[in-house]
Chains A and B, each alone.
Chain A
Amino acid sequence: MIEGRKILGSVGLGILAVFVIVAVLAPYIAPYNPHQMSRPMEHPSSRHLLGTNDIGNDILSEIIYGTRVSLFIAFVVSAISMLVGTSLGLIAGYFDKLGFVIMRVVDIFLTIPRLPLIIVIAASMRPSIWNLIAIFLIFGWTMTARIIRSEVLTLRSRYYIDATKMIGGSDCYILWRHILPNVIPLVVVQFIMEAIHVIFTEAGLSFLGLGDPVARSWGMVLHYAFECPIIYVSDVWMWWMLPPGLCIVLTVLGLTFVGYALEETLNPKLKSPAYGRGL
């Protein structure tokens, strides 16, 4: 029901808010510098709440700083993807000839299997945050461009677009003032979808060792944990592997909940009882 969605949305927002605060305030919250070394492989204690890793970094501090890296990549990639994807989608939907060209390019990108190519590119480049962001951006805009375009195709034939032409509005004016505000809800949902995708893929790439070894994201923490054979034979996994994994899951859940709640606010059709019963 509607209430269910609202509650989920608030929960999601709460989770995201916590992570964002942690990311922003990392230097104040983290008990140690994540690169500072002390005794390795310490078990959780009052000095190191989640113990230390194989080279003596405080794991809690690592995870707190990792939040920064993971969220930063997700945010930057999603924001730029939305900017590019929405602009191209608007142009493609409104101008037929340009639209044809843009959509054929999108088709090419969509037929290429995304993950394998990302892995290949990431493996052949120097691992750094900026390279990761660049790789995600290659694909990030395509789906958004396509979705926005199809929405623009229906919007541009609405009578109020004609009405704006009647009063002398130019094409650019119509796109900016009338069509863009109508696709914003879609862009917001796409932003969340893209962020989820990036967080997952980034964690995966880092886990495979293709991430930035200096700016350690959650995925990178996992990568180092799995490189250390001890976690398979002792309890170390409980404070080294589980927490970053949970962080990834919680962030993705938070985003999904928010997306789910937004979906309804932005698409009032979902408010009908037929749809609401599912929850």
Chain B
Amino acid sequence: MTLLEISDLKTHFPTQSGIVRAVDTIDLSIRERETFGLIGETGCGKTVLGLTLMRLLHPTTTVEGTIRYRGKNLLTISEAEMRLIRGEEIAMILQNPTTSLNPVMRVGEQIAEAIRLHQGLRRRAAKEKAVEMLDAVRIPSPAQRANEYPHEFSGGMKQRAMIAMGLACDPALIIADEPTKGLDVTIKAQITELIKETTKEKAMLLITHDLGVARALCDRIALMYAGELVEYATTEEIFENPLHPYTRGFLGSLPGNGLVPIPGMSPSLIDLPDGCRFHPRCSHAKAVCRKKHPELIEVEAGHFVRCFDA
């Protein structure tokens, strides 16, 4: 069953040097209990997409299209209704655990916040729930840790606390924005494992540029390039049968696959290339790629690619 359906979504920022097309015509849907990976380079619009879903962008941003969550269009409901959805229905785990906790507030209180805001629990009951959540994310002696301040937590523990905060109200959908960023390899493996366990019953949109993490967690993966999706399919399909040159390049840049970088840089979102947005970096670029913008086509059941070659 579809939980979240994004269609024709455009998020544009007006700036002095032009319109930044951070998210450009994106269609995707996330099913209940599915983990959907959104992968792309830095600056391709992944985080903006997440923030668009939460409706937390600057008011001057123009957002078009529809985001249907359980039948409701998140882009047209009131701010008050949206607040009820944030945290309770859709939660977002931010990418900077070290700075995402208020330094002058006890960690337990910060986790209890979400519970108090949505479930109207008293301070003490919410606190008990917060301790439970810390326990659920494997923080040792949670009752004591709940009374500590963020600076007493290590980086990995802060990320665990952030995950606890996200899970506190038992949301149906979690948007995890690079949850393993800035963690060292062993901690990264632990956090990945923790996310896998704790979100088994939930739908998740995992935003990352770490293919390893995506492979371990996701049911389906979409690759985003310069504000649009270039390929999406099941995780297996993506790894076994990548069709878009960008996906191939991304896989080829993995240490196990030869560590070959994709030449060039991702384009400016203000001044996008004509035709296929990837053609300046593509080794298979043909004349048509420079002139015509390819559409996302379904080459096999459930496998979509935006390339003339596919």
A residues with a Cβ closer than 8 A to B are 158-160, 162-170, 173, 177-178, 181-182
Among the listed B83, B110, B166, which residue makes an inter-chain contact with A170, where contact means beta carbons less than 8 Å apart? B83
Chain B residue at minimum C-beta to C-beta distance from A181? B104
Provided the pairs A159-B100, A160-B100, A160-B102 are in contact, do residues A177 and B86 lie with their beta carbons within 8 angstroms? no
Complex Cα gap A182–B114 (Å): 20
In whole angstroms, how far apart are the Cα atoms of A182 and B103 in the complex? 9
A163 touches B94 (CB 8 A): yes
Task: Point out the residues of chain A lying under 8 angstroms from B206, CB to CB.
Answer: none
Q: From residue B60, how far is it (CB to closest CB) to chain A in Å?
A: 11
Q: Which residues of B are interface residues toward A (Cβ below 8 A)?
A: 54, 56, 83-88, 91-92, 94, 96, 99-105, 110, 113-114, 117-118, 162, 165-166, 168-169
Contacts of B101 in A (CB 8 A): 160, 163
Chain B residues near A159 (CB, 8 Å)? 94, 96, 99-100
Cα A115 to Cα B85 with chains together (Å): 53
11 contacts between A and B (CB under 8 A): A159-B94, A159-B100, A160-B102, A162-B56, A162-B100, A165-B56, A166-B87, A167-B166, A168-B87, A168-B118, A181-B105
A163 partner residues in chain B, CB cutoff 8 A: 94, 100-101, 162, 165
Contact (Cβ within 8 A) A166 B92: yes
Q: Provide the residues of chain A in CB contact with B118, threshold 8 Å.
A: 167-168
B113 with A164: CB separation less than 8 A = yes
| Cβ-neighbour of A178 out of B86, B91, B92, B102 (below 8 A) | B102
CB distance B88 to A168 under 8 Å?
A: yes
How many CB-defined contacts (below 8 Å) exist between A and B? 68
* Chain B positions within 8 Å of A168 at CB level: 83-88, 114, 117-118
B94-A166 in contact (CB<8A)? yes
| Contact yes or no, B96 A167, CB < 8 A | no
CA distance A181 to B102 in the complex (A): 10
**Could you tell me the dominant secondary structure of chain A's interface residues?**
helix
Are B56 and A177 in contact (CB-based, < 8 A)? Answer: no
Q: Which residue of B lies closest to A161 (CB)?
A: B102
Taking CB atoms, residues of chain A closer than 8 Å to B87 are 166-168
Whether B117 and A173, one on each chain, are in contact in the complex, defined by CB atoms closer than 8 angstroms, is yes
Q: Are A178 and B105 within 8 A (Cβ)? A: yes
Give 9 new A-B contacts, CB below 8 A, not counting A163-B100, A165-B56: A160-B100, A167-B114, A168-B84, A168-B85, A173-B117, A177-B105, A178-B105, A181-B105, A182-B104
**In the complex, which residues of chain A have a beta carbon less than 8 angstroms from the beta carbon of B56?**
162, 165-166
Query: Which residues from B are CB-within-8-Å of A177?
Result: 105, 113
Complex: chain B residue closest to A185, CB-CB: B104
B117 touches which of A160, A162, A167, A182 (Cβ 8 Å): A167
Least CB distance, B91 to chain A, in whole angstroms: 6
Measured between beta carbons, the chain A residues less than 8 angstroms from B86 are 165-168
Report Cα–Cα, A218/B238, bound state, in Å.
Answer: 83
Give bound CA distance, A181 to B87, whole Å.
Answer: 23
Complex Cα–Cα for A39 and B28 (A): 96
Residues of A within 8 A of B92 (CB): 166
Residue of B nearest to A173 (CB): B117
Q: What CA separation (Å) do A155 and B162 show in the bound complex?
A: 19
CB distance from A211 to the nearest CB of B (A): 41
Q: How far is the CA of A162 from the CA of B209 in the complex (A)?
A: 22
> Which residues from B are CB-within-8-Å of A170?
83
The docked-state distance in angstroms from the alpha carbon of A164 to that of B99 is 12
In the bound complex, CA of A167 to CA of B96 (Å): 16
Residue of A nearest to B80 (CB): A170
Q: What's the least CB distance linking B53 to chain A, in Å?
A: 11
- B81 to A: closest C-beta gap in Å: 11
Question: How close is B137's CB to chain A, nearest CB, in angstroms?
Answer: 15
CA distance A178 to B113 in the complex (A): 11
Whether the Cβ atoms of B99 and A158 lie closer than 8 Å is yes
Q: Return the 3 tightest CB-CB contacts between A and B, nearest first.
A: A167-B87, A167-B114, A168-B87
Instruction: State whether A162 touches B91 (Cβ < 8 A).
Output: no
Q: How far is the CA of A173 from the CA of B94 in the complex (A)?
A: 20
- CB neighbours of A181 from chain B (8 A): 102, 104-105
A221 to B43, CA, bound (A): 69
Indicate if the CB atoms of A169 and B117 lie closer than 8 Å.
yes
Look across to chain A and name the residue whose beta carbon is closest to the beta carbon of B115.
Answer: A167
Bound-state Cα–Cα, A165 to B87, Å:
9
Q: In the assembly, what is the distance between CA of A160 and CA of B86, in Å? A: 15
CB closest chain-B residue, reference A166: B92
Bound complex: CA A159 to CA B99 (Å): 6
Closest chain B CB from A161 CB (angstroms)? 8
> How far, in whole Å, are A159 and B105 apart by their CA atoms in the complex?
14
What is the bound-complex CA distance between A163 and B88, given in angstroms? 13
How far does the alpha carbon of A160 sit from the alpha carbon of B99 in the complex, in Å?
6
**Which residues of chain B are within 8 angstroms of A169 by Cβ–Cβ distance?**
83, 113, 117
CA distance A158 to B91 in the complex (A): 18
Instruction: For the complex formed, measure the closest distance between the CB of B85 and the CB atoms of chain A, giving whole angstroms.
Output: 7
